[in-house]
């Protein structure tokens, strides 16, 4: 079993912490990434005064602009970053869960490949229920 379809939720969260939208780029959720990038850009542009915007592309100019951010802008950008991190985690976890469900041959507990001849996971020893067991339990 290859892990090409599986994405690490915590890596997506770390990337979203670096800059909102990077976690979504990692997940290949392009529209969401563009929306998060645009939200940060528009929030910064709207809440920063015209004289505070950097006029040149240098580290010093961006550091001066970040120091000039009012408290409201800092709080708004922090909220956007936290929401982006939560969304990236949720998207990665959902993608990972969908891959496990569509795989059909992976353990629901640890996600590793199962041997179809035995009724438990030989990696984590989780008991597996078959379709017949589930149907019998539902009939009771």
Q: What per-residue confidence (pLDDT) applies to 1?
A: 39
pLDDT digits (tens, 9 = 90+) for 48-72: 777 677 778 889 888 887 887 888 8
Which residues on adjacent β-strands are paired with residue 113? 106
Cβ atoms of residues 74 and 10 within 8 Å: no
Q: What is the pTM of this model?
A: 0.63
Q: Which residues of the chain have pLDDT under 50?
A: 1-4, 131-140
The pLDDT assigned to 2 comes to 43
């Amino acid at each position: 079993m290859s892990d090409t379809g599986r994405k690490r939720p915590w890596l997506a969260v770390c990337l979203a912490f670096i800059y909102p939208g990077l976690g979504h780029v990692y997940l290949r959720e392009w529209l969401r990434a563009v929306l998060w990038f645009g939200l940060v850009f528009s929030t910064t542009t709207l809440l920063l005064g015209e004289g505070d915007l950097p006029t040149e592309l240098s580290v010093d100019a961006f550091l001066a602009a970040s120091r000039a951010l009012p408290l409201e802008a800092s709080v708004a950008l922090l909220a956007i970053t936290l929401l982006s991190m939560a969304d990236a985690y949720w998207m990665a976890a959902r993608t990972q869960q969908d891959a496990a469900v569509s795989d059909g041959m992976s353990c629901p507990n640890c996600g590793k490949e199962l041997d179809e001849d035995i009724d438990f996971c030989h990696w984590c020893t989780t008991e597996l229920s078959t379709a017949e067991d589930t149907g019998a339990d539902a009939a009771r």
